[in-house]
Every structure is written in C-alpha cells, then in structure tokens.
Structure 1
Amino acid sequence: MSRVVDLWLRRDKTRTARYGKGLRWQAVWTDGRGGELKESHRTKDAAQAWIQEQDDKRRQGFTPGGPRVTVTEAGQRWLTARVGWEAKTRHEVEATWEKRIQPRFGDRLVDQVTRDDLRAWVAAMQSEGLSARTIDTYFGRVVALFSWCVAEKMLPASPATGIELPKARKRPQLFLQVAEFWALHGAMSAHYQDALWLDVTTGLRPGEVWELRGRDVGVRRRRLRVERAVTEVDGKLVIGSTKTGEPREVPLLDDVETMLQERAERAGPDGLLFPTARGSQVRVTNFNTQYWTKAVERAGLPAGLRMYDLRHTAASWAIRSGASVLSVQRMLGHATPTETLNTYAHLFEDELDQVSKGIRVMLDRHKTATGSADAA
C-alpha cells in the first residue's frame, strides 16, 4: 500500500539518525504486485501529491518510474518519425529545432518541462524582438513535439497546451479589380504574361504554376491537373506534392485551355509549361526581383502586392461570379470547406444582398406568371 514515511521522526516522536538531514518525507508508491517506487520530498503534501501523480499515470496507461527521456532524445525520435513532411517543411522545422528548441530545452527531461518554462521562452523571444507571427510558428513546433510525446506515452499531458501567445496581425489580403490585373499583365514581361493569366483565373499557388508540365494538360476537357509544386530549400529547387498532398483538377477558361494546349505541344509531356527564357525552372526569388516587383511598380499597384495575391484575386472573382464554398475549395485545393470560409468568409458575406435580390426576382416572376394565368 502506498504511503508517506517521516524520515526524521519515528511513530513515538523520537528522532531517527537522519533527523535534520536531507529531505524529510519519503513517498513510497506500490503497484499492488510487489513493485515499489520511492522518492523523497521536502513536505508531506508534496510526497502525497507525488503518489497521486503515479496513480494517475498508471490509470492513463503509463508506467510509473519507467524510462524517462530528454527533450533531445525525444526530439530526434520525433524528427525521424515525421516521414510525410515535404522537404521545405522538414528543413524549416529542423532549423527551428537546432536554433531554438534544443539549445533551450535539450538537456531537460520531457516530463520536467513546465508551462512556466514555456511562458518564459515566449517572453524571451518577445524580448529579442521576434514578430508575433514568428513566435507562433516556433511555438507551434514545440506544440507538435510535446503532442507526439503524449501519443508515444512519454507524457500524460502536454505542457504546451493553452499557453497564451502574442497576437499576430494577419497579412492583409489584396484583391485586384479586373482593370488592375490587366494593368499588371501589360506591365509584365511578355514571357510571363500567360502564367499570370492562368494564375488569376485558377488560383494556383506560385510553386504549382512553375512546376506545371505538358502531361498535366488535357486530362479532361477544360480541366488542368495540379499534383506537384516546386519550392526552394537552401538554394536548391525541390519538387514535391501540393500543399495538401493531394492532386486536384481546376477549371479552365476556353482561351486559357487553348494557350496551355499550345504550350504543352511545344514542351512535350515532361517539359515545363512556364520555364525561364533559358528553359530552366523558375526560381521564385529571382522572378520576384527581376520581373514581378518591377511590373507591380510600372502598373502603379501597391508595393506589397505578391504573386500569391493573384490566388486571392481568383477566389474573389469566383465568389463574385456566384461560385459555392465547395467549388472555391476544390479550385484552390484547400483541405476543407472550413479553411475556405475562414480565409474568404467576408467575401461570401458581401454576396448575401445578392441572394435576397435573387429571391425577390424569383418571387416577382412567379407572381407575374400567376397573375397572368388568373387573368386568362
């Protein structure tokens, strides 16, 4: 039976040989089958709390007194287990691990990292001047690590849940009007104008545009298959799957389909549809510096406009044309309709007035038709 033993005084209140030396209260936890764990504490309450903790661990499927691992050991196992990460994601997470997480917590046992430790880490990053968005990214990786530790029975619960973080300001979404897009299109190098026209009518991510190949065209009429994307990691181009890991088909305008078919015929099945002028893969950083920024400036558009904002523009145009949440989700390749709503809910709200107007028109037409029939 679990118990707390006074190491300083016997039951008759006489002093033991250990009186006044070391920690006074010894917690003795038993598993009911002869197994026993002991740990000394400064106070009786702390000893009793430790016994309760061992009981809780056992009820949750943990082995009290079982092997304990450091954050370094757990982190290495966690990184090895993440086989589904894209190359860019793995590079970014490993960089955070090496520069931020391991130096701060690596020597600690995973079950000794407390919520106060994590709050102090967040405060330290704030004092460095890191942005709220960056802190959120770094902390999200600690959340993932400790959640994995819980799943692997290293911890009964994660200390990273419920920690309040600095509020990050969302990057403003920029949407182009039709005239603004054509101004940008005209200011862009002729070599890349078709890429912009495709992007603003389909909402592809830039990395998806630059990795399109001849075999992606003509899978179905008025459809383009999107199943890969290119990204840059440590100066090297890496080709992987789309952000969600799932291929999708996006609808095409007739003239966009014709343009892609012509490019596919010239490129061949494995050739890039939108290579550089020298025929190589487009690097986003080079494209932005040499072409995009200059075209934005010549078109008189906001300096912060990104090629990614053509994706936002495509979404806004689709919504204004009457597309449903599900249709926009499928076009953009969002994982769920909820993600689409979270991103563009305000645009759907702008269309509510049109819904009521449409219902009014329908009712008036029915009333007119009924009135005419009655008069006859």
Structure 2
Amino acid sequence: MRDKRNFDSDTPTTEGYIVESYLRPQWGETPLNEIAQGAVQDWVDDLKDGKLRRSKTVSAPPSPGYIHRIYSVFNVSIKAAVKAEVLDASPCVGIELPKRPKRPKPYMTTKDAELLGSTLRSDYKDAVDFGLETGLRPNELTGMHASQADEEARGFWVTDVYVRRKKVIRGYPKDKDARFIPATDKAWEIYERRTAGRDLTTGCGIPHSDGAKCRSALVFLTVRNRPMNQDTLGYQLRTKAQKLGTATKSPYSVRRGFATRGAEGGMNAFELADVMGHSDIKITQEYVQRTRRTGDRMRAALAQPAGESTPRRARLKVIKGRGTGRGIARSSHRFPSAPKKSEEDAS
C-alpha cells in the first residue's frame, strides 16, 4: 500500500525501483494482515546476509545504508496501512536493522573549488562557488529564482526546487518549509554576476507543479541560457576531476564542504541545521567532516596551542583504544520572517 505523499519529486522513481527489486518479490503475494514481526526481521536479516528473494536486476547484497532505505519504504507503507485501519498494528515494531558504519565522505574544500574552477566553465564554476557559500541542495541551487534574493536582508529565501527528472519547479524544499540563508559577500557577488543585464521578470520557462504562472527568472543558467541541472553539474565535476587526476567530487560534496567550513568557522549544529534545512541535527552532523582545524579547535579548548603535538611516552609499546566526545551549545541565532507573497508572486 502506498502512502499519500507528494510526488512532485524524484523520490518516486527511486522508491519504485526499490519496490520492484526488493519489496514485491518478497511481499507481493502476502496479505498485509499475514505479515508477522518475525517474518519482517527474517527478511531484514536475509537482506543483510545476501539471501533475499530478489529480482534479476539485483546482483549484489545491498549495503547497510541501502537496507535502511529499503526498510524505510516498506515501513512507510505499513504505517499508511495502519493509519487507514487496514492493519490493527504494525509488524515493524522492534525490528533490528544493520548498523551503518561511519566513514569519511568526500567534501569540497575551497582549494578543491579553486583547482576545479581553473578548468570549469564560468557558469558551472559560479554554481560550485555559490553552493560552497550557501550550502544549498543541488536541486535548490538549480531551482533558485531571482525573486528569492532579499536585498534588504542581504540573503536568499530557499523556496523553489528544480525536479530534474520531471522537469518541473516545486514551490517548496525537502522539509516543506522556506528558510533564509544570509549571504556572504562572495555569494551576493555571484548572484549579481549571474543576473546582471538580464530581464528577471520574464519567468523561468519551466512548468511549476502547482500550475502557477512564473514571473521570475532562474539565477543559474548555462552559457546557452538553458536551465542548469544537477546531473550536468555532476558530470562537469567528474570529468574535470578526472582530467586533473584528483579525487572525484559530486554536487553533494559541495554541500558537505559548506557544512564542514561552517563547523570549522564556529557555527554549531543548531545554526547549521537552520541554514541547511535539517529537522534533525544528527543529519547535519553527518555532513560535517573531520579536519585538522576541527582538531585544533578541540586542542585550543583544552588550552593546547594549535599544531602542538601531544607528548608521547618513550618506548610506549601498548596503545589502548581511543574515544571521542562531542558537545553542542544551543544557538540563539534567528533569521528574519519570510516575506508574504501576493497571488501574482506565488510562483
């Protein structure tokens, strides 16, 4: 049973693949009221061990992270069945999922951006630099309209998203709530450069999912005045990195780069979550990557000068396990209220 969620996104395509490859082969012939908790746990364990019944298109056991994604699609459908009173209770209570290993994720540094920028076209270079200054999701960046810029507050409202596979503009971000991002000088300079000399009231030329008529231009266009999308941006980043012989970067590595820079500069998890549009700071923490500077901040907090190494004992032969600890102070940061839109500006 499918839940009644919004489908103005690329998510249904991904979830459709999961349903056909993992859910339907296992549960397609089983009535919902006959799915027991033990059977669900066995299915999850079989996914982990690579013993699942699966379609011919699936060739290898899924990773722990992908098992969480598969299970999430199944669990959402079960919850929808319970809400619709098709089921009295959920068989998903108490299910143990495989632990997702924590590992460093690639992120874009300012040096990476400078190096790639030497080979990127100016339109893609500006998109990368802007993402590194704002932390926008790739589809938020490519869907940004000129009307989202707030000159008085010196920043940008995140409202519109470009759904690339459906080629439509959705009028709200992932968390379905507009947010404000204060602009750095560099971000505002890029915005002014990308919009200079253009008629910003002609509309974007892309259908809006709510059917409203658009009266604002997109900020980021290619040199051929076509809408930019995250697939072409990702292709440019991959090919240029290969040409330079450097580690491959993706559009989301730019977003992780913003989070890491923000944390290094002193923003706490609550401030970053506000700017990045996360409802849970645990998600924000996954974007922040460990760097030498974050270590220096910890050492400074413990009154050890940056760059000074910890004294080592002579002839130390046994090294015991290490642990880490993290603390977060609640932010008092506040953003200005969102401007009210007229019906004419609703797009």
* Pairwise same-fold verdict (TM > 0.5): yes
Q: Using the alignment, how far apart are the partners of 2:45 and 2:199 within structure 1? A: 53
Residues 120 and 356 from structure 1, CA distance in 2 versus in 1: closer, same or farther, beyond 3 angstroms?
Answer: closer
Amino acid across the alignment from 1:287 = L
Does residue 187 in structure 1 map to residue 131 in structure 2?
Answer: no
What is the match of residue 163 of structure 2? 231
What is the match of residue 296 of structure 1? 241
SS in 1 for 2:156: strand
Question: For 1:95-134, what aligned pairs fall within 5 Å after superposition?
Answer: 95-122=17-44, 125=47, 126-127=50-51, 129-132=60-63, 133-134=65-66
- Equivalent of 1:135 in 59, 67, 92: 67
Q: How far off is 1:171 after superposition?
A: 6.4
Amino acid across the alignment from 2:123 = H
What is the match of residue 251 of structure 1? 182
Residue identity (%): 20
TM-score computed with the length of structure 1 as normaliser: 0.65
SS in 2 for 1:308: helix
Residues 343 and 315 from structure 1, CA distance in 2 versus in 1: closer, same or farther, beyond 3 angstroms?
Answer: closer
* Preserved CA contact (<8 Å) 2:259 2:287: no
Q: How far off is 1:200 after superposition?
A: 0.8
Q: How far off is 1:268 after superposition?
A: 0.5
SS in 2 for 1:297: helix
Q: How far off is 1:95 after superposition?
A: 4.1
What is the match of residue 274 of structure 2? 330
Report the structure number with the largest CA radius of gyration. 1
Q: Using the alignment, how far apart are the partners of 1:164 and 1:120 within structure 2? A: 10
SS in 1 for 2:86: coil
Question: For 1:1-376, what aligned pairs fall within 5 Å after superposition?
Answer: 75=1, 78-79=2-3, 82-122=4-44, 125=47, 126-127=50-51, 129-132=60-63, 133-169=65-101, 172-233=104-165, 236-240=166-170, 241-265=172-196, 266-269=198-201, 270-289=216-235, 291-303=236-248, 305-341=249-285, 343-344=287-288, 350=295, 351-357=297-303
The structure with the greater share of residues assigned to strand is 1
Q: Using the alignment, how far apart are the partners of 2:135 and 2:151 within structure 1? A: 19
TM-score computed with the length of structure 2 as normaliser: 0.69
Residues 169 and 298 from structure 1, CA distance in 2 versus in 1: closer, same or farther, beyond 3 angstroms?
Answer: same
Residues 294 and 258 from structure 1, CA distance in 2 versus in 1: closer, same or farther, beyond 3 angstroms?
Answer: same
Q: Using the alignment, how far apart are the partners of 1:267 and 1:336 within structure 2? A: 39
Q: Using the alignment, how far apart are the partners of 1:321 and 1:248 within structure 2? A: 21
Residues 147 and 346 from structure 1, CA distance in 2 versus in 1: closer, same or farther, beyond 3 angstroms?
Answer: farther
Q: How far off is 1:299 after superposition?
A: 4.0
Q: Using the alignment, how far apart are the partners of 1:319 and 1:339 within structure 2? A: 14
**Higher RCO, Cα 8 Å, sep 6+:** 2
Deviations 1:126-183 (A, max 9, x none): 2352312333222211111222223333333321233333444456322344333211
Q: How far off is 1:186 after superposition?
A: 1.6
Q: Give aligned pairs, total.
A: 276
For the aligned residues, what is the CA RMSD? 2.8
Gaps of 5+ in 1: 1-74, 359-376
SS in 2 for 1:87: coil
Q: Using the alignment, how far apart are the partners of 1:219 and 1:324 within structure 2? A: 26
Residues 252 and 215 from structure 1, CA distance in 2 versus in 1: closer, same or farther, beyond 3 angstroms?
Answer: same
* Preserved CA contact (<8 Å) 2:139 2:229: no
SS in 2 for 1:249: strand
SS in 1 for 2:246: coil
* Preserved CA contact (<8 Å) 1:222 1:254: no
Q: Using the alignment, how far apart are the partners of 2:73 and 2:222 within structure 1? A: 36
Gaps of 5+ in 2: 52-58, 202-215, 305-347
